[in-house]
């Protein structure tokens, strides 16, 4: 089937999509956007978090067809040219990145949190990001990054 | 000096924008996709495997079983290091464990391969699997020593005699769980053949291992195999050795004549590349009434697989950490119908948990404060070799002091189960962290171009620890240039051979080679400048010229100066390469970890409310990356203490928790306030740059500190990890 999606502001048309494919697969394998990561394919880890019509979703749990006519924004669409988004910059500055595999999903999830709640409390940050697993950092610096981004 | 500074990760921007390309992110023209079919039983034989429907399914290019599987040039031995396991799947009909590879489907798209894989029908002759360590303790045996120097037996003095006559004796039986590494990045292999040359885009912690063993299995020369891994999404041991899925994918790609990509599913990652072995440990300590330790007797049994003889759960802390004249250590294994264990972040943490728990029990028995007890038994010499002083490289006393101060460790501990807050019992606990310092030979090459920029290369990996960044800093310092003038490329066997990223060795090993390569290049450029009559430095003895901020200058007359770029514009690019053969590895890394927990009365839930770690990691190369690693390590230990265990069905031998909802890794909401301190004193015996390992050390200590705090809070000693709420009700 054919799927029309606006990805990072650009209208994209994808042909020969199998109806069972996930949005994550379409982004990674068909649209050349491997920034969103595939780590569990069950919606447990948050590594594939993207915006769909402004709402963060696990792209692995969205069937490609469900994205028809929607606007998708991935980690690749957050920076403006070479200027990092404040959340991206804060992740670098705070040392919230290690292996980097959970980072794209965390950046989108944190970006969404700050859009909804510009000055989140620590418990709000912990709760909002509890669905994004990280195996390297121990989370402390991720918390710092979100606080830092909220201040900037 | 840039070394030690909290320089931002040089790979940070690529990682936060999604630009960093991991093994499964490569775009390869004509790529095909492999999907594995795995065994539904844990022991028995395949009596029929029907692939007809799968082979006829749309898009399918090939279906591989043991009937038509690739045949290999080599058989890994029973101590398989640096292969992950002895068993090579797809060679015959025997099933050794659930989740073993029994078929591979290759198709033009992933979804078509995945669908076809569901069409394969298999009949098994099922036998009853052995899956319990406890039930097989009578069959435990000491493994044969392999090429890797694992130690299964050790004794000094008369441990049993000393224990029998000790005024205070404490014994415990400790159990630790089977665990899985679960790096966020699933294991992936993409095999691309060009004629008889293979390129592997691989999730590997050891490029050289992958190259060497894939070549050996395929019967080709190592020079024909290139392994590429510029970014790695964690590993923690799961990607350390060479497992069958890698060379099977390469072999299939060769016979198919097409590039093949295999990405393991999360569930498959529970049976394809090892796990931490379950252990049952008996540990006894004898001491005088004032807490001076006179004997340790430690015996451990861990699981191994049907074809392998190996236990990675080293327990050297028992015999090397505390001064104690009599010690005995025995490690045995039992064969189970489960996959082969492999090292998982901090193999020493399993024995270390038992040791640091029994220290806490001894503290209760003697009434000596846990911290004082450890100081009372402090070793200034290697207890295994009294003629070898630990020397200037041991700063454990500093760790105790720094950590106790940060945590405000009490001189007098309240009685267990005596402090309450908000409906829960509160307790504190502490433990020592201990880890050997491993190093490997490493080579680093540098080319500086006429623009004065240095391109640094080494066939090593950055598993997320910060190798890109610390090598950049090290070279910048050695050359005397700003960090932005240095670019480091790694993750490609086309570069100079270098260290694996296992056992916390990358920073010390590759960092030292980088330092030497940088110094050598600086010396070369200085030699060129002082011999060049066009240079302001002409005629100055080379020893009197140094460099800073990209400028070479006369130490005594700094006005005589020119830039690297000035010299190289006249002379063209300059290259250097340095090999560090690695030090003898006599150092150890140390730390002290302090924890506070609250245990809910009604639910038995343990919340860690404070965690403090003070670590002796030699010289700190980057304050930011080291700190992040230390925190991550401590939270790793928290997972081991409280949430992580792989549960196996006791009848079927299948893993019940093969996903991230059944296997609970700590999440943001589980994490307490964490504070870290580093002693930050160079250990020249560890490496020429004075650095020691961080990652594994930091994940030692936290587990026992938390378990001890739980005992202090509740008055109950749980000797069985993880401490889940049911064990406290």
d(CA B372, CA B391): 22
- How close A34 gets to chain B, by Cα (Å)? 6
- In A110-149, the residues whose Cβ lies within 8 Å of chain B are 125-127, 129-143
Q: Cis link prior to B722 (omega < 30° from 0)?
A: yes
Task: Name all domains of chain B by residue range, CATH numbers in brackets.
Answer: 23-128+183-265 (3.30.365.10), 275-437+585-727 (3.30.365.10), 439-580 (3.30.365.10)
When scoring B16, B204, B620, B636 by the number of chain A Cβ atoms within 10 A, the one with the most, hence best to mutate, is B16
| Contacts of residue B115, Cβ cutoff 8 Å, sequence gap at least 6 | B57
Instruction: Tell me if B667 and A133 make a contact (CB, 8 A cut-off).
Output: yes
When scoring A46, A95, A145 by the number of chain B Cβ atoms within 10 A, the one with the most, hence best to mutate, is A95
| Residues on chain B touching A96 (C-beta within 8 angstroms) | 628
When scoring B18, B203, B659, B698 by the number of chain A Cβ atoms within 10 A, the one with the most, hence best to mutate, is B18
- How close A69 gets to chain B, by Cα (Å)? 23
Give the pLDDT confidence score for residue B701 in this predicted structure: 95
Looking at chain B, which residue has its C-alpha nearest residue A45? B660
d(CA A124, CA A114): 11
Q: pLDDT tens across A56-68, in order? A: 999 999 999 999 9
| Residues on chain A touching B266 (C-beta within 8 angstroms) | 39-42
Q: Give CATH 3.10.20.30 domain extents, chain A.
A: 3-76
Residue of B314, B361, B596, B696 marked catalytic = B696
| Residues on chain B touching A84 (C-beta within 8 angstroms) | 13, 16-17
For chain B, which residues score pLDDT lower than 50?
Answer: none
Across the beta sheet with B454-458, what order do the strands follow?
B486-490, B454-458, B442-448, B574-580
| Residues on chain B touching A75 (C-beta within 8 angstroms) | 16-18
Q: pLDDT tens across B65-101, in order? A: 999 999 999 999 888 889 999 999 999 999 999 999 9
Give the pLDDT confidence score for residue B42 in this predicted structure: 98
Q: pLDDT tens across A128-151, in order? A: 999 999 999 999 999 999 999 999
- How close B53 gets to chain A, by Cα (Å)? 20
Query: CATH number of the domain at A86-151, out of 3.20.20.70, 1.10.10.60, 1.10.8.60, 1.10.150.120?
Result: 1.10.150.120
d(CA B722, CA B335): 23
Instruction: Tell me if A84 and B15 make a contact (CB, 8 A cut-off).
Output: no
Instruction: Tell me if A138 and B668 make a contact (CB, 8 A cut-off).
Output: no
- How close B398 gets to chain A, by Cα (Å)? 24
d(CA A132, CA B265): 18
- How close A99 gets to chain B, by Cα (Å)? 3
**How far apart, in Å, are the Cα atoms of A148 and each of B10, B189, B289, B555?**
19, 37, 52, 43
The phi, psi pair for B284, rounded to 5°, reads -125, 145
Looking at chain B, which residue has its C-alpha nearest residue A143? B668
| Residues on chain B touching A142 (C-beta within 8 angstroms) | 668
- Using the Cα atoms of residue B665, residue B668, residue B669 and residue B672 in order, give the sign of their dihedral: positive
Q: What would the DSSP string read from start to end of A63-111?
A: BGGGGTT-EEE-GGGSSBTTBPPHHHHHHHHHT--SS-SSHHHHHHHHH
DSSP for residue A122: H
**Is the CB of residue B35 less than 8 Å from the CB of residue B43?**
no
**Is the CB of residue A3 less than 8 Å from the CB of residue A65?**
yes
Q: Give CATH 1.10.150.120 domain extents, chain A.
A: 86-151
**How far apart, in Å, are the Cα atoms of B726 and each of A102, A137, B108, B659, B723?**
31, 29, 48, 22, 8
Q: Which of B111, B186, B628 is opposite residue A39, by nearest beta carbon?
A: B186
- Using the Cα atoms of residue B270, residue B275, residue B281 and residue B285 in order, give the sign of their dihedral: negative
Residue B185 designated active-site: no
d(CA A87, CA A93): 10
- How close A100 gets to chain B, by Cα (Å)? 5
- In A52-81, the residues whose Cβ lies within 8 Å of chain B are 74-76, 78-79
Query: CATH number of the domain at A3-76, out of 3.40.718.10, 3.10.20.30, 3.40.50.1220, 3.90.1150.10?
Result: 3.10.20.30
Q: pLDDT tens across A82-125, in order? A: 999 999 999 999 999 999 999 999 999 999 999 999 999 999 99
d(CA B333, CA B351): 14
Instruction: Provide the Cα torsion B695, B79, B459, B195; round to 10°.
Output: -140
Q: Which of B14, B25, B659 is opposite residue A40, by nearest beta carbon?
A: B659
The phi, psi pair for B543, rounded to 5°, reads -65, -20
| Residues on chain B touching A102 (C-beta within 8 angstroms) | 184
Instruction: Tell me if B16 and A76 make a contact (CB, 8 A cut-off).
Output: no
């Amino acid at each position: 089937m054919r799927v029309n999606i606006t990805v990072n502001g650009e209208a994209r048309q994808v042909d020969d999509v199998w109806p069972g494919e996930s949005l994550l697969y379409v982004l990674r394998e068909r649209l050349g956007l491997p920034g969103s990561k595939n780590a569990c394919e069950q919606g447990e880890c948050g590594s594939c978090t993207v915006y769909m019509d402004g709402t963060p979703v696990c792209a692995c749990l969205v069937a490609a067809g469900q994205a028809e006519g929607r606007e998708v924004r991935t980690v690749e669409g957050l920076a403006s040219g070479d200027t990092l988004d404040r959340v991206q910059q804060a992740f670098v500055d705070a040392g919230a990145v290690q292996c980097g595999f959970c980072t794209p999903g965390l950046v989108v999830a944190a970006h969404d949190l700050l859009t909804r709640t510009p000055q989140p409390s620590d418990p709000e940050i912990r709760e909002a990001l509890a669905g994004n697993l990280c195996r390297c950092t121990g989370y402390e610096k991720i918390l710092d990054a979100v606080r830092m981004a909220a201040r900037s | 000096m840039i070394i030690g500074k909290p320089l931002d990760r040089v790979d940070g921007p690529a990682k936060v924008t999604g630009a960093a390309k991991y093994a499964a992110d490569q775009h390869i023209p004509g790529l095909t996709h492999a999907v594995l079919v795995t065994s539904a039983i844990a022991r028995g034989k395949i009596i029929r495997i029907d692939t007809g429907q799968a082979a006829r399914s749309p898009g399918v290019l090939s279906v591989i079983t043991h009937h038509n599987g690739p045949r290999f040039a080599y058989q890994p031995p029973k101590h398989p290091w640096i292969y992950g396991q002895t068993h090579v799947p797809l060679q015959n009909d025997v099933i050794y464990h659930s989740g073993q590879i029994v078929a591979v489907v290759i198709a033009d798209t992933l979804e078509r391969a995945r669908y076809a894989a569901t069409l394969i029908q298999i009949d098994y002759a099922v036998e009853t699997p052995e899956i319990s360590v406890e039930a097989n303790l009578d069959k435990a045996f000491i493994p044969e020593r392999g090429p890797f120097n694992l130690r299964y037996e050790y004794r000094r003095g008369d441990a049993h005699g000393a224990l029998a006559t000790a005024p205070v004796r404490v014994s415990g039986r400790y159990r630790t769980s089977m665990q899985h590494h679960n790096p966020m990045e699933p294991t992936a292999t993409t095999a691309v053949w060009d004629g008889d040359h293979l390129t592997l885009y691989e999730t590997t912690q050891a490029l050289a291992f992958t190259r060497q063993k894939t070549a050996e299995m395929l019967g080709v020369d190592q020079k024909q195999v290139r392994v590429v891994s510029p970014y790695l999404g964690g590993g923690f041991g799961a990607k350390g050795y060479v497992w069958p899925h890698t060379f099977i994918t390469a072999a299939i790609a060769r016979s198919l004549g097409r590039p093949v990509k295999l990405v393991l599913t999360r569930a498959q990652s529970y049976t394809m590349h090892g796990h931490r072995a379950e252990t049952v440990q008996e540990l006894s300590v004898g001491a005088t009434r004032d807490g001076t330790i006179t004997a340790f007797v430690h015996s451990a049994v861990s699981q191994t697989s049907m074809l392998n003889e190996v236990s990675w759960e080293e327990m050297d802390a028992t015999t090397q950490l505390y001064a104690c004249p009599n010690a005995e250590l025995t490690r045995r294994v039992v064969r189970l119908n489960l996959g082969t264990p492999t090292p998982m972040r901090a193999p020493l943490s399993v024995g270390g948990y038992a040791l640091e728990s029994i220290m806490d029990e001894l503290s209760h028995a003697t009434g000596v404060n846990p911290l004082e007890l450890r100081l009372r038994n402090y070793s200034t010499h290697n207890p295994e070799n009294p003629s070898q002083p630990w020397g200037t490289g041991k700063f454990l006393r500093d760790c105790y002091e720094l950590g106790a101060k940060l945590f405000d460790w009490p001189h007098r501990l309240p009685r267990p189960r005596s402090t309450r807050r908000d409906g829960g019992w509160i307790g504190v606990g502490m433990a020592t962290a201990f880890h050997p310092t491993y190093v490997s030979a490493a080579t680093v090459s540098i080319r500086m171009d006429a623009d004065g920029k240095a391109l640094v290369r080494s066939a090593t990996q950055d598993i997320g620890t910060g190798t890109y960044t610390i090598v950049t800093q090290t070279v910048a310092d050695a050359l005397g240039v700003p960090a932005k003038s240095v670019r480091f490329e790694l993750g490609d066997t086309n570069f100079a051979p270098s260290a694996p990223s296992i056992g916390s060795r990358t920073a010390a090993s590759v960092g030292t080679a980088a330092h030497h390569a940088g110094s050598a290049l600086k010396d070369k450029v200085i030699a060129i400048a002082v011999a060049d009559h066009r240079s302001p430095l002409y005629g100055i003895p080379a020893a009197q010229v140094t460099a800073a901020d990209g400028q070479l200058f006369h130490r005594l007359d700094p006005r005589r100066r020119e830039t690297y770029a000035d010299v190289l514009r006249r002379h063209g690019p300059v290259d250097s390469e340095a090999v560090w053969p690695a030090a003898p590895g006599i150092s150890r890394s140390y730390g002290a970890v302090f924890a506070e927990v609250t245990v809910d009365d009604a639910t038995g839930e343990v919340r860690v409310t404070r965690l403090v770690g003070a670590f002796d990691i030699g010289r700190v190369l980057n304050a930011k990356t080291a700190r992040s690693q230390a925190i991550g390590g401590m939270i790793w230990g928290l997972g081991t203490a409280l949430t992580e265990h792989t549960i196996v069905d006791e009848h079927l031998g299948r893993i019940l928790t093969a996903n991230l909802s059944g296997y609970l890794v700590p999440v943001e909401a589980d994490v307490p306030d964490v504070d870290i301190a580093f002693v930050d004193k160079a250990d020249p015996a560890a490496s020429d740059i004075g650095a020691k390992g961080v990652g594994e050390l930091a994940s030692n200590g936290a587990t026992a500190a938390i378990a001890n705090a739980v005992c202090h809070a509740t008055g109950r000693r749980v000797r069985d990890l993880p401490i889940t709420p049911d064990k406290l009700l």
